[in-house]
Structure 1
Amino acid sequence: MGGTKPKVMQRDGVTATGYLMLATFGWLIYTFGPAIPLIRDGLEISRTLASLHSVTFAIGIVVAGLAASLTIRRIGRASTLRLGLLLVLLGVVGLSIGSLLSVGALFVTLAAAGTAGLGGALANNTAIAVLSDHHGDLSPTVLSEGNALASGIGLIAPLALGLAAASILTWRPAMLAIFLLLGLVAWLLSKSSSSQAFTVVPAAQTSERLPSDYWPMWFALIACIMVEFSVVAWSPDLVRDRLELGPGIASALPSAFLAGMFIGRVAVARLSLDTDAKRLFLASLGLALIGWVLLWATTVVWLALLGLALTGLGAAGQFPLGSALLIRTAKGNTDRAVGVMAAGLGAAAGAGPFVLASLADGLGIYLAFLMVPACLIAAAVLSMVSTTAPKTESGHS
């Protein structure tokens, strides 16, 4: 309403716990994705086989999404988050050690990738549900702000990976640095786990169906996640092929994409206070498409960096705004809505890089990247079909 005062977001220990968990998951996925080509080099396997790491990682995310409601109902949100942290630790250790084995390395690294995906998604899904319930109408702003922090932390992840890969250390220490973030999340959780947002689990949610309004945006968001994970995983290969760069430098280039995401999410967090989330979502798709055109067409390094940054700037609002729209259509069924969303996004996270890699093995990486605009256009059409999705002008009541 025009005469009401804007709501003020209160950040507390629960907010800090949720934000840091989003940042931790960001470090995981943004070191994991660029590490796939390096794992491929070390194991001397094809792009298709290497992309199976994305598939098993995604399978873990899907399983976490499907099991989220039941797990939370059985052991609670706080314990579910702790379980997720432990599984991430085991997965990252397994991925690092398994890639050094002379026998059975691929089997071990694939299993470790799945474990990391399962744990990361369990913890991240819980954090999203907690933040959404804790902040209510301000969830679009909160999720945008939390994901801005995740992008900021993730911004240095490919850079750290690339620097490590170019040295005698290899990529592994950059991925193992997640231990520090896991410890901080566990410490913050110990201080805030008694909050109502962690302890309240409406049992009725687990048996309710999600409304039909939920599904068009669900599919649109899947298309967006396919783009995000494909760009992070395989843009190093694209620039290596087109710009003739070394593997270490190429692995660091996705930092430009993440820089764009960080800046974009800071902006979206402010814009979403008094701008319709659907309008922002469509604008983000258009901006990402412009960035892709520049990245795909150029053979100049600085223009490729600019294209990656613009693509990231556009991608910035797609997950936080889309997920806020999805959760709002669920009419209070938060844990189930987030779980189903995560299952779909996990499938998309694996399918995107796998499909692009398979296309690249057959057509070349350059033509394979045509998948990106196809997904962006599909997301725009699907989101426009979702005419019943609510407005998220959460700055006003």
Structure 2
Amino acid sequence: MPRLTRDRITWLTYAQLGLWGFFLYGFGPVVPLLRDEQGTSAAVAGLHSTGIAVGALAGGALFAPVARRLGRGPAIWLGLGGVAAGVTALGLLHPLPATLAAVAVIATFGMMVVSGVSVVLTARHGPAAPAALTEANAACAGMGILAPLTIGATVDAGLGWRPLMAVEVGLITLVALAAVTLRVRVPQRAPAAAAAGAPVPVAASTRVPAVPASGVAEAAVSDPAVPAFGAADAAVPASAAPVAGASGRAVPVPGSEVPASGVRSGSGRLPRAYWIAWVLMSVTGSIEVCLSLWTADVLRTHAGLSAGGASAAVAAIVCGMFAGRIAGGRAALRWAPVPLLLGALTVSLAGFALFWSSTVGWLAVTGLVVLGLGNALHYPLAISIALAVAGPAADKAAGWSAYSMGVGFGIAPVALGWVADGVGPHPAFLLLPVFIAVAVLLTVRLGRALRPAALPA
């Protein structure tokens, strides 16, 4: 079983991702309040999610060139500085075009943080990267719990939602000061050997499952240390790609016989399995952002909660996600990602059913906690698989992953808002089990794409 060693750099990246989570999970309850403040429809208010999507696309495009020029660590700090500037503007501005632009700026720099943290943890922890990414996203959710509670408290106190933006800036400043004081620096580059074009050392394999017709089998997909930017063509040792044989033991397979889902030596192209994971991240991202933006509306109209209470209750989802990611970090060290992801999607569906069918506040909130437990593992497992199969192209893969979130954030909430304007937010939420069903199908397809190549006789 891989072992996760948490050093000071790991803890710093957890904190950096948590700062992004504080805004992301806090902004969802803000949208209905912005809609009331600006006097717009649900569909128009949902354009703020489109702003996040546009920013995600820009952040995905910017990350690789910025990190190539400045290094990964400085790119993450630049992202946090941009988030601080954006939330300051959002807190000061009121017109719809201005808030849309501010949200796009925040998301642009926020996605640079997400991409940077994902690549740094993948390079640093190798076979334990799924656990590290799950824990990082637990930190993200843990900080996200505080944001809806803060909004609920300030709204009930008559201060509105804008004090949340000042809290975000203060937290970013505190983490930056702590990093300087403790002299913790995120590595700017991958190992020097990779930068020089030498063969990239391949860490012990991470177990990525396949789903053959006869049941669930497991393939071990190598997770090489990520090369420096510009070194996408660094060679992967030909014999370093073990797969699970019929007996379940790892059997070395020559580089020429790595399955189509693997990354061939000297190629920066992303494999088919990556793109399936990419679509999966888009669909699961749609689930998460729709819940973040419109759950408070359903709690107000269907479960009878006040505006402040509904905003605070959104924290129930994030509480579930925090607990799920804490437990999921250990689970990811013991079980293969694809069956774990299928189980998480099943839990999400059960939680949604309880939430959607409840007309009593506490029961609906209980459903949100269960829903959060399932949602907890969607993104960490999908991104860990995507980066593992990308191999030497992990920097490029991390940048492209932001586009998948952009698609989910840009289309789904606006569609749900448009439907909600016609039939109400509660019936419109039936789009979510459709997303979950699609995610299940994609996960099964991903397992098949990761099936190991047939071993030579």
Which of 178, 183, 187 is the aligned partner of 1:195?
187
Is 1:19–1:149's contact at 8 Å kept on the other side of the alignment? yes
Structure with higher Rg: it is 2
| Residue matched to 1:111 | 101
Aligned pair count reads 381
Residue 420 of structure 2: which of 346, 360, 363 is its match?
Answer: 360
- Provide the residue aligned with 2:89 in structure 1: 94
Q: Does residue 76 of structure 2 align to residue 81 of structure 1?
A: yes
CA 364–176 in structure 1, closer or farther in 2 if over 3 Å, else same: same
Asked whether the 8 Å contact 1:36–1:233 carries over to 2, the reply is: yes
Please name the residue that 1:388 is paired with: 449
CA distance in 2, matches of 1:195, 1:117: 23
Q: How far 1:188 moved relative to its partner?
A: 5.2
In structure 2, relative to structure 1, the CA distance for the partners of 1:177 and 1:383 (3 Å cut) is: same
Contact 2:73 2:187 in 1 (8 A): no
Match of 1:62 among 29, 42, 57: 57
**Residue in 1 that maps onto 2:161:** 171
**What's 2:351 paired with?**
291
Q: Which of residues 276, 279, 289 in structure 2 aligns to 1:216?
A: 276
Instruction: Provide the secondary structure at the position in 1 that maps to 2:356.
Output: helix
Q: Which of 23, 26, 34 is the matching residue for 1:31?
A: 26
- Matched with 2:203 is none
Cα deviation, residue 180, structure 1: 2.8
Moved more, 323-332 or 381-390: 381-390
Moved more, 41-50 or 285-294: 41-50
Matched, 1:161 2:222: no
Asked whether 1:300 is paired with 2:327, we answer no
1:189 Cα offset (Å): 5.0
**Paired position in structure 2 for 1:3:** none
**Within 2, Cα distance between the matches of 1:132 and 1:258?**
24
- State whether residues 17 and 188 of structure 1, in contact with CA within 8 Å, keep that contact through their aligned partners in structure 2: no
Conserved 8 A contact 2:22-2:143: yes
Tell me the percent identity. 34
Structure 2 gaps, min length 5: 192-226, 234-266, 453-457
Q: Deviations over 1:354-384 (max 9, x none)?
A: 1111111122111210110000100110111
- 2: CA distance between counterparts of 1:121 and 1:357? 24
Runs of 5+ consecutive residues of structure 1 not aligned to the other structure? 1-5, 100-104, 392-397
Cα distance in 1, alignment partners of residues 132 and 167 from structure 2: 26
Matched, 1:274 2:334: yes
Spell out the pairing of 1:123-162 with structure 2 (5 A cutoff).
123-162=113-152
Shift of 1:176: 2.0
Return the letter of the residue paired with 1:20: A
Structure (1/2) with the larger helix percentage: 1
Does the aligned pair in 2 maintain the 1:133–1:197 contact within 8 Å? no
2:305 pairs with 1:248 = no
CA contact (8 A) 2:268 2:392 kept: no
Inter-partner Cα distance in structure 1 for 2:320 and 2:357: 19
Q: Distance in 2 between matches of 1:165 and 1:205?
A: 50
Q: Which moved more, 1:260-269 or 1:81-90?
A: 81-90
CA shift, 1:64, in A, is 0.6
| Cα displacement (A) at 1:194 | 6.1
The reply on whether 1:22 has 2:17 as its aligned counterpart is yes
The higher relative CO (CA closer than 8 Å, separation ≥ 6) is in 1
Q: What corresponds to 2:429 in structure 1?
A: 369
Contact 1:14 1:131 in 2 (8 A): no
Equivalent in the alignment of 1:12 = 7
* Distance in 1 (alpha carbons) for counterparts of 2:111 and 2:426: 31
Displacement of 1:349 after TM fit?
Answer: 2.0
Where does residue 386 of structure 2 map in the other structure?
Answer: 326
Q: 1:198 to 1:165 in 2, by over 3 A?
A: farther
Question: One-letter code of the match for 2:450?
Answer: A
Distance 2:166 2:232 in 1: 37
Distance in 2, matches of 1:290 and 1:315, equals 11
Does 2:111 match 1:121? yes
Q: 1:371, 1:306 → 2: CA distance?
A: 20
**Partner Cα separation in structure 2 for residue 358 and residue 185 of structure 1:** 39
For each residue in 1:280-327, what CA deviation from the matched residue of structure 2 results, as whole angstroms up to 9, or x when unmatched? Answer: 100000000011111111101111011111110000011111110111
Does the residue aligned with 2:432 lie in a helix, a strand or coil?
Answer: helix
